[in-house]
Structure 1
Amino acid sequence: MATRPSREQSKDDSSSAVSSNTTFSRKAIRAYCISANGFCTLKDPKKCFVLSCQFCTNVSVRFILNKNQQSSPRIPAGFSQIIFPKAARKIDSRYAAQRRGAQVLKDRAYHTGVPILPLLEQGYDINDTRDRHAVVPFLSFFLALLFHSSDSRHVRRRHIRASHFKRQSIPSTLPGNWTSEGCVTDNPAARTLSGPSFTNTTGMTVENCITFCSGSSTGANSIPAQSTSFIFAGVEFGQECYCDNFIENGGTNASATDCSMACTGNSSELCGGPNRLNLFFSGGTPPPVPTVVPSSGLWESLGCFSDDVNNRTLSTPVGVDGDMTVPACVAACQADNFPLAGLEFSTQCYCGTNIEGEGAPASSGCNMACQGNSTTLCGGANRLNVYNFTGTISGPPVVNPPAGGNGVNPNVHPVTSGLPTPWVYSGCYVDNAFGRILGTEQPDNDTLTVESCIAFCESENFTLTGLEFGVQCFCDNDVIEGGVLAPEDTDCDMACGGNATEACGGPDRMSIYSSTANVTLLPVPTPQNTSLPGQWQYVGCLAEPGANRTFPYQLIFQNNNSATNCLTQCSDFGYPAAGMEFGDECWCGDVTDIAANGGKPASETDCNAPCSGDPIHLCGGSERLTLYEWQGNLNTWHTPENTGFYEYLIGGLVIPLIANLGLNNKVQFLEKFGTGPPNSTGAYELDLTLVDDFTKSWREMHVKTDVFCSGSLTLPDKAGRLINVGGWSLVSTFGIRLYTPSGSAGVNGTTDWEENPNELELQVPFIVLRFKDEILTISPFTQNGRWYPGVMMMANGTILVVGGENGSNGPPVPTLEILPTPEGGNTTLFMDWLQRTDPNNLYPFLFVLPSGGILVIYYNEARILDEVTFDTIKMLPNVPGAVNNFLAGRTYPMEGTAVMLPQFAPYTDPVTVLVCGGSTIGAAIALDNCVSTQPDVDESQWAIERMPSKRVMTCMVPLPDGTFMIMNGAQQGVAGFGLATDPNLQALLYDPSQPLGSRMSILNTTIVDRLYHSEAILLNDGRVLVSGSDPEDPRFPQEYRVEVYYPPYLTSGLTQPEFTINETDWAYNGQYLITVTLHEGTTSGMRVSLLGAVSSTHGNSMGSRTIFPDFSCSGNTCTITAPPNAHISPPGWFQLFVLDGPTPSFSQWVRIGGDPAELGNWPDFPDFTTPGI
């Protein structure tokens, strides 16, 4: 398939309906009620109306005017008639006579807003394919108008393609010289841009953020006033703006798709995402990195010293006039006769006569630029830049702090009255002893008041408000990081910048107000090392390897990260190593990733970020992981000595698209047009007994239309014909092709593929008319064949065709249909879930269940349909995807593969369905897991088993011993031409008899890349034939070579058993004799298996089923009891194997269940050969 543009799904704003009180004459119609049993044609229209209401659910009732009807129904108001051009073919009466029951249909279709005449009024027959092809383009055009009509009063449904919606983007014109720098990572615990910031939940735009960071905001337009110019601006989470002159804390480039949130002030602009910034650069030169001022006047630097909020190194805080600088602080201390001065946290000044408490020189931590001079350092968190006065002090020290702003004022008080209900003053708390005690900080505000801070926090749904250092406002719901009440409430004695009488905290003191009766104080967080899930164990703090990452899979839990949540997610998907970082990041991988990617042990104190969902425990830090490892084996991947091997078989004539093993034990290959040599006929048959003679081994066959991305099955008729449906474009998408296997080992067959689009095609639903309570409703849609359909044999012997698209990268065909088409009827049914999940649901996986339902797995969903009405009986839980992306898919184009695990007599155990491989949308990271469930079991969940490697475009082959070969595909990408890399050359064996997590064995490797359009099928001798690879990519070859794989059961040196059988047409529950010859064991260790005939394409093994029937032996004569019913074993052909211990015989074909739908008599046209029944 060519590369497809991504498509978004649009939701309908109402049901599809056109209503009117106009009715058809009931005497003039026949009605067909669609059900799984076909159509009921009732002579009494009144009965049909009743039946359609009482017995048909999800029914399409089609009203057809009788040919001799004289009067026409009155056209509803606002409608005009449909007219079709003369190019539409008139009915040829001679041709019509050849068609049994052919009738001129005079369906009435209506439309609004366009001049139209009655469809088929002049004798066009939509059941005549010749007429159909003439009118389809015009009907498609008119119905497209109907879908998109904007002025219709009647047509309420809208099908709008994603291209009609304006996507969010970065503005093409930015203020000044600002340019976009793309999407970069961020983290709340260590911001990439750590300067001023603001949040606007309703008015954030890229332009407003740039204005703020440019320093030109004055407080207008809800942009806080901010006068410092920065060269970087970033928008995040739709509503947040950050500024800086440097990229801090390891911020790195991220995928552009990570920045996908619309700005709250302009929905057409992008404003980052969760922990992702859209970054902008002014083009300016960054200011110098701030440095220590070595001296200021007679003051000399003593360096960086530690400080403790509970035991100050310099005991006296002082205020300064204006913004904080080194000269301002030392001048204030000199004026008060202190010989020592210290600057902390960029805005705080302390004076003293001695180094007190636990103060001591610190090697790091003085890293904050001064508030008033960004080129110089003013301490840091619990760090002081200390200066010593070298002159003469004129007198004793005095404490004379100025009032207001950032000064200390003993006359200020907390606000205890006049607050908005229910807010109350909680007290003065010690801040920053171990970290900030409230987690959300707003930009400094020189006009801050208690009331304004409460108003902001309340607007963001926080229950706590904290004020500090006169200008700082914080919000949260709990007091974190070991925050406690200060010894004295008067410790919060710094006046608010906007009201000199209100207390706004102090240096490392926070005035806290609460809207709840109780304030929760959480302790200093520590690593969680008890009550861990499963067998996880805490290891320590791990340093990330710079810009690289230790583990490959990242999850962001912005509000609920914890050891329990992170570790459970990682182990559920089979990853035995996990780490949390930055508080809200969870990383999964393998223990071996640590050494391979350069992870190194780090100090425990470096992991200091509380978990976003568990603030009493630590989740890493900046570039630091809180590391855990699983104790014991989470996955057991066996490495047997006997692995089997690949072997080159023969060079091919074509690159196969579809491979089947026919009843003649020859392999039928179908090829898409345009891939192989120009003289290719599109179909070839390989005689496996003649592979040593290339010219004799291949037989040329022919198809008339392009089978590209069609679906195939082996029919249950007595000839075991192959049917192929759908195709690439135009008439090919309607294709129904049939082939009767012929010839024998070493003897060429004489039959060929049969096809005639003028006689036999898929169905075309035009317009569905429904009557209910005298109201006519019209559900318009067109269907132009199927590309990528799913195909399945129903329990009643008919063929179910599901989904697809309208030719190459076309719109969805969200319907299913039944073949053969009942005479005069149409079985197509619309399925909203196919519409909604296109284009990720192609080639859906289909299974008949023992319960009688039909399991459909598509994209990342699964449901069970009623086999009669096709209503949904049961929705299964969504299919798990990647550990960090639940939107990963399993069907084309993400393309994994699915099989039903073996059923064993007496068939009382619920069946299990296994799905392996797939990929993710966007980044296209192939999946490294298989998932399984028991769909007939209530509340059944999906079990996840990790594979040894990632795999997309997976092939899975049922083997006669009940195991499954997993092979082919790539480790990166999705299905399609040129869309995958890193071929997966490793074969795996999946053994359902082993415990979950221990079912996979690593087998041998091939040298042949098998990517898009590769296949794998079981041969009658027990080998696996592997073919194809059509990547259309210069990096990888177009692959003509055909290989076989010898599974371990053929390379153990044991002789294959043999058996003879006389009766190969089996009825359900019948008993049938075989005579066995065992060379290694006895019948007590013998097994018998039945494997359904398979068609392999695009990872889909259509028709696969594995059954171990009951049998008993007397001597070497054994009696096999056939499966009991069509839900255990749908009608069809099966390969019968006898196993002597682990070793299978050659297979022989048996038919089980007969041909209940009498497909052997279909189609009844002269261009098709029917075997009869």
Structure 2
Amino acid sequence: MPSTHSSSGLRAASLFCLIALSRAVPYGHVFNRQTTSSIRNGCFISNVDGQRLLSTATYASDAMTVESCASFCFRHKYFALEYARECYCGDSYTAQPVSDIQCSMPCAGNPAQKCGAGNRVDLYTNGLYVPRAPATLSTPYLGCFVDEVPRVLPDNLLGASDMTAEKCAAHCSNYSYFGLEYGRECWCGNSRPKNPAPATECSFPCSGNDSQLCGAGGRINVWGSPLSSPENVGDFEYAGCFTDAVGQRSLRGKTTYDSAMTLEKCAASCSGYDHFGVSFREECYCGDVLEPTAVEVPQAECAMRCAGNYSQACGDANRLNVFSNTQCLPDPESPLSVGKFNYQACWTDRVGDRALGDVVERSDNMTVEACAAICEEYNFFGVEFGRECFCGNLLRGEIAPESDCTHRCSGASTQLCGGVDRLNLYHATVLPTATSVVATPTPTPTLPAEDEDEEEPTVVLTDIPTPTSTLPAEDEEEEGPTPVSTAAGAEPTDTDVEDEPAPTPI
């Protein structure tokens, strides 16, 4: 077979391009290893339809030997020698073998060895092969993961031409997780990636350390571990990481948000409750019952750092770090009567169309008694959202499950003060005089009038039975209101007070 390199001029030009495109490696490094246990696989065609047998790395030298080529290719599974002075490296190949006679040229640096011929290579399995590997650090290595938009580790990108695993670890020291991608990119984050990829798909060498792996395109090598939660925060002890969901909250009491949230702040806000939970960096939930829908999950799923203290974990999207009160607290209840008012039911309310809209008062010291005093001249009053009091003679809305009214009063932790878009509703035993009543159509639904012989009661109520218990019924497991909208990457919104002043921060 005639050589494909029949012109010495063309051959010189080809070598010039080959050297220019090859990886630059100092010759001292190339010749450091002088012995090899490499295995010769035979003579093969080097170039078929423009595709070289091995092409990951190349170099050419007038001192070429089998040993020097093996040393140069020590990061690759295979190496090949061609045309007396050329060395090629690669990790896989599709070969077309030919007779050994066709690999007849002596190596330029050792005539006793054969180094292929024109378009023919002596192919070897490299005995010096040392595969790249993820760096071994004090932080646990988690594996190779798929990366995509949105980024699995979205924070604090650093790109560098001298990137190493150690450099990335230092850069992301304030985060739970860090990862290396595309040879030179370092990414930080607080949530563990969930979509693993085969280890072989993270194959790029780190730009600052050829022996380390730094992911690939769309692939990221990840290290990290979740923050541990303290055993105790004040009177609360840690219970674990639990699931949570919008519309089916695991803790259904008071809810607060703070852009500087800490465990201590949430514990203080929930001091009158049996449990508190932190979620999504800056959300705090209180409750007397951890709902049956809450499922304990591995601590690794509660990895977001608290917005106000990066050394603490504050859950994640739809995940709660839950703490339980070690003190024996009395169960909250709605007093059956307060002055002239009797308790009726948990009642729906809505921003923009209030169930009771004549008077609105808010206080961080709210109690049922305080609201009754404010609403003395009205037919109805209701307490809501722990700190809100509403008065009125016109009632709108409808009965809601008692399990929807779970907020303790901000001024009395033993009393219930509604919930999000929910009132604990009270009705006056003695109706106000006709001159003080708002002339409006009779609302629906209605409660029975106190005195059926009165000619025209201004506001009457029907079909609301007198409660036999002030506590939520155990068999009412209906889905509660949606106090916040929490999705990954979304800011929570308090639907109850969107047109009113925000509660005092924790």
> TM-score if structure 1 supplies the norm length?
0.22
> TM-score if structure 2 supplies the norm length?
0.44
Q: Which has the higher contact order (CA 8 A, sep 6+)?
A: 2
